[in-house]
Chain A
Amino acid sequence: GQQLNQSPQSMFIQEGEDVSMNCTSSSIFNTWLWYKQDPGEGPVLLIALYKAGELTSNGRLTAQFGITRKDSFLNISASIPSDVGIYFCASGGGADGLTFGKGTHLIIQP
């Protein structure tokens, strides 16, 4: 099946720092989605990308759909404690289920 390679696996940063994570695939995708999951809860959609080259922001979050359609990145600016959690990239959707990356575990040190 399709695989999404997400990196880094985990990040230890100081509060206020910027964060960057990315996903790559050997396959071309029409959609890239970024989710955040807090412990014991379901994932929450952060940003949806539908067009190659698209750059979309949601508050302090910015995500881009790579021009080759095989990658995407998510940036978080000026991190705050509530940004702690696991971030997943995902693709697919519509009538099909989503394929998820392995996640990036973000840990923020005050």
Chain B
Amino acid sequence: GAVVSQHPSWVICKSGTSVKIECRSLDFQATTMFWYRQFPKQSLMLMATSNEGSKATYEQGVEKDKFLINHASLTLSTLTVTSAHPEDSSFYICSAGGLAGADEQFFGPGTRLTVL
């Protein structure tokens, strides 16, 4: 159990375009999902907490108008990178957790975004 999928696994786009990344919990319902960003050779940094049915909570320094998060259902959260620029190129990873009140989070396989 606790399988999380992401789509697409990689995407290349032109500067100025928007990119949507989907995160799905396949075998459980997740009221809360999380979005992380990982630059090469660095650790994962939490970007935002995605709450089903309410607005996302963003970490300090993360622009909410640039990284739009929609948690449409208990199994789907989407991250849209709007007006992407080369500096947005990164590995974006979602996670879900809170199973049985535990603190463990289960991660998706990640999405590699390259902005040209």
Contacts and interface: CB of A to CB of B under 8 A. Distances in A.
Interface residues of B, number: 29
A59 interface: no
Given A88-B43, A100-B43, A100-B44, A93 B103 contact: yes
A45 B34 contact: no
Interface in B1-50: 4, 6, 32, 34, 36, 42-46, 49
Contact of B46 (A43, A97, A102): A97
B102 A48 contact: yes
B43 A42 contact: no
A103 to B, nearest CB: 5
Interface of B: 4, 6, 32, 34, 36, 42-46, 49, 59-60, 91, 93, 95, 97-98, 101-110, 112
